[in-house]
Chains A and B, each alone.
Chain A
Amino acid sequence: MKSLKFEYKLSLLYLLLGGLWIVFSDKVVNSISNDIDFLTEIQMYKGWFYVIVTTILFFLFTRNHLTKLRDTESELEHHKNHLEQMIHEKTIDLASKNEELFRKNEIINQKNSELQNTLIRLQDTQSHLLQSEKMASLGVLTAGVAHELNNPLNYIMGAYVGLHRHYEDKTFSEHDEQVGILIDALKVGVERSVSIVDGLNQFTRNSNSYNEDCKLHDIINNSINILQNQLSDNIIIDKQYADYDLIIKGNVGNLHQVFVNILNNSIQAISNSGTITIKTSPDDDHVCIEITDTGEGIEAENLAKVADPFFTTKEPGKGTGLGLAITYNIIKKHNGTLEFQSEYGKGTSTKITLPI
C-alpha cells in the first residue's frame, strides 16, 4: 500500500467502504424489518450517512495530503530563496575577488614594466661597462701606443732634417741615393703612423652592428700592434695563420677587444721570456683561433672563474677583472665559443670558435 499513490489509495478506500456499506448495511437493515416503506426511507438515510462519512474522510485525507505538499512547497521556496541569497553573496564575493585579481594584474603589469625598464637600464649599463673596460684597457695601452708613434715620427723627423739640409746646401742632385732613402723614410713614417692611429680607431670604435666584415688576421695583427709596447723583446709571437683571409660577420671593435684582452693576458703571464702562438684554422661553418702561451698558467681552482666578472689575480691597477667576462660576452654575441685550457707553470691555451 505504501507504494501506492494518493489518488489510488483514495479511490480504493472509497470503493471498499462503499462496497462494504452496500453489502453489510442492507443485510443489517433487512434483518431488522421487512416493511418496504421503512426500508425505502432507511435507504435514503443510509445514502446520506454514507455521503457524510465519506466526505469527512475525503476531507481529512485530502487535507493531510495537501498539508504535506504545502510544507514541501514552502520548504522548496525557502531553499530557493536561500539559494538565491547564496548566489547573490557568491556573486558579490566573486566580483570583489575579480576586482582584486584585476588590481593584482595591474600591479604585476606595473612591476613588469619596471622590470623591463630595469632590464633596459641594465643593458645600457652593460654596454657602458663594455666601453669603460675598453677605455680602461685602452688607458693602459695608450701610453704604449703613443710612444709607439714616436718611432715613425722619428723617421719623419730624420727625413725632414736630412732633406732640409740638402735643401739649404742645394745638394739634392749630388746625393741622389740619400735623398731617395730620406723620401722613403718619410713615406714609411707616415704609413706607420696612419696604421697605428687606424689600429686605435678600430679598437675604440663604438658600433653596435654585428654585421661588419671582420678580417680576423687584420684584427689580430692590429691587436698585436696595439700591444707592441707591452711586448718585451723576449716574447716571440708565432703566427700560424691559415693561408687565406678569414672573414666573418661581426663587430670589428669588439673583436679587437677580444684579442687585445687575451693577448694581453698571455703577455702578462710570461714573466721573462716565452712564446705566444696564434693559430687560425677554418672549418666547415666556423673558424677556430687558438692562442697558446708559455706563461705561468692558471691554477686549476681558478680556471673556471677566469671569465667571472671582477675575478682577477693580477695586482691592483693591472687588471679590472672584467676583461675575460667581457670577452666571453662578446664571443657569445657572435654566437661563438670560448674555452680555456691551462696547466699551472706551463701555460695557457685559449680557443675561440666563431661561426662564418
Chain B
Amino acid sequence: MLNKKKILYIDDEKINVQLFQINFSRNFEVFIGCSGKDGLLLLDNNLDIEVVVSDMKMPEMNGLEFIELAKEKYPDKRYYMLTGFDITDEIQDALNNNLILKCLKKPFNLNEIEKILNE
C-alpha cells in the first residue's frame, strides 16, 4: 500500500476531481486540486508526486500555464493533459516541446490512463 505511485490531478470541476480520485485511488495515491495554484502548492508539499494530470480549461490559469510553471520547478515529473476538447495549436506546441507527454481525452478511458500512469 505504501508504495503506490503518487499522482496529482487538477480540474476546476469538482465532480471531475472526485470521480478521478475515486476511480484511480485503487492503484494510485491521488492528490487532487481545483486550480493551477492548488496544484503548485500540492507539488511543493509532496515532492514525491511522479505524475501530473491536468484539465485544460480552467479560470485564471489554464492547464498548460500551470504545467509550464510546474515543469520549470519540477522538470523530472511526467505531465499529461486531460481534456474534452480537440488538440489546439497551443496543446500541439506543448506536445512538440515535450512539455506534456500526451493529451488524453475526456470522457476518460480508465484502462488507457492507468496503463500510461504506470509506464
Contact = CB atoms under 8 A, between A and B. Distances in A.
B86 A158 contact: no
> How big is the A interface, by class?
20 to 34
Interface in A154-204: 154-159, 161-162, 165, 178, 181-182, 184-185, 188-189
Contacts of B22: 158, 162, 178, 181-182
A309 B110 CA distance: 50
B9 to A, nearest CB: 12
A184 B13 CA distance: 14
Contacts of A26: none
A162 B19 contact: yes
Given A151-B84, A155-B15, A155-B16, A165 B26 contact: yes
Contacts of A154: 16, 19, 84, 106-108
A127 to B, nearest CB: 33
Given A158-B16, A185-B19, A229 B107 contact: no
A181 B14 CA distance: 11
Interface residues of B, number: 22
Interface stretch (B42-50, B56-64, B67-75): B56-64
B23 interface: yes
A147 interface: yes
Contacts of B105: 150
A158 B84 CA distance: 13
Nearest to B12: A233
Interface of A: 143, 147-151, 153-159, 161-162, 165, 178, 181-182, 184-185, 188-189, 229, 233
